[in-house]
Amino acid sequence: DASDFPAGDIVFMDRGDGNTALLHLHGATLISWKCRGLENLFVSTKSVFDNKKAIRGGVPIAFPNFGPWPLGPQHGFARIKRWTVDVPPTKDANGDVLAVVSLEDDDETRGMWDYKFKLVYTLVLSEKSLKSTLVIHNTDTKSLGFTTLLHTYFRVSDISTATVAGLEGLKYNDKLTGGQDVAETRDLVTVDKNYDRVYKDAPNVTVLSSGPEPARKIEMKTFNFPDVVVWNPWDVKAREMADFGDEEYKEMLCIEAGKVVTPVTLTAGAQFECSHTFTSML
Ligand code: BG6
């Protein structure tokens, strides 16, 4: 809850009726999204909140690189930098709540990746949905290239009941076996072991269902995110992660919208907008 954190570290959005969102400024990591009081995001009980390490759970932002990165930390620096509040939570005429945070290059980022940029992250909390829009501005005088992804850790009541719709017929790269362009034949994807798959050219809607108590059905609609990563560390990898509980793999599933297979190139002054919207369908 918001009261667990120093007020200066978080942005708390409250639409009323138990519809809330909580963003940590370390990494602009969304750490809670509740619909009618029901939490839909997973954050590990072992996550470290030291404003240094990436938060284990919620929605960390991978930028300017998804995956291992020769120039800096895995998944880039955006998730471990302190972001700035541009617009604190503000209600619009419909009662929806908007907040905007941003990150600009500094000596540390240019030491890894020598480009000037600005990231603007806008959250809009409605009654049953939360839209997160990331705009990447090239503020430099030269072109830059990047991959990016919103690394969502959804909470599920029991991984054995979780299904993901919307991936049938897609090709995926399996990061664990090295398999390339494997065809997904299932209309409902289930996860029963360590998964690390990058689905390519996905349609813009996936639906995660789980239950029975509490039942959840969450649609994720994307814009300019052609790839979807499905990740669960399962038991052995869970034990190897210091900031993840041994049994917690049963309570989460990562479904990550990204632009990761083909990087984006932005010419000087150009921008790229991408977003995902979660909607509770129940
Ligand atoms: C996933 C990657 O998106 O993130 C996995 O596909 C990776 O390969 C996982 O293990 C977690 O990464 P990290 O850096 O947060 O431990």
Q: For 26-44, what is the mean pLDDT?
A: 98
Separation CA 110–CA 4 (nearest Å)? 33
Residue 1, pLDDT > 90, answer: no
As a whole number of angstroms, the distance between CA 275 and CA 265 comes to 18
- Could you tell me if the ipTM is greater than 0.85? yes
Report the distance separating Cα 277 and Cα 76, nearest Å: 23
Report the domain count for the chain. 1
Q: Kindly report, residue by residue over 97-156, the tens digit of the pLDDT.
A: 999 999 999 999 999 999 999 999 999 999 999 999 999 999 999 999 999 999 999 999
What is the percentage of the chain residues whose pLDDT exceeds 70? 100
pLDDT in tens, 152-211: 999 999 999 999 999 999 999 999 999 999 999 999 999 999 999 999 999 999 999 999
What is the domain extent for residue 115?
Answer: 2-280
Among 196, 236, 261, the mutation site with the greatest number of ligand 1 atoms within 8 A of its Cβ is 196
269: pLDDT strictly greater than 90: yes
Give the chain's mean pLDDT: 98
Residue 134: per-residue pLDDT: 99
State mean pLDDT over 9-25.
98
Q: pTM for this one? A: 0.98
Report, as an integer, the average pLDDT of 22-43.
Answer: 98
Indicate the length of the chain as a whole number.
Answer: 282
The pLDDT tens digits for 58-68 are: 999 999 999 99
CATH code of the domain covering residue 274: 2.70.98.10
Q: Which are the catalytic amino acids?
A: 151, 256
Torsion of CA 6, 109, 99, 137, to 10 degrees: 180
Protein residue with its CA nearest to atom 6 in ligand 1: 196
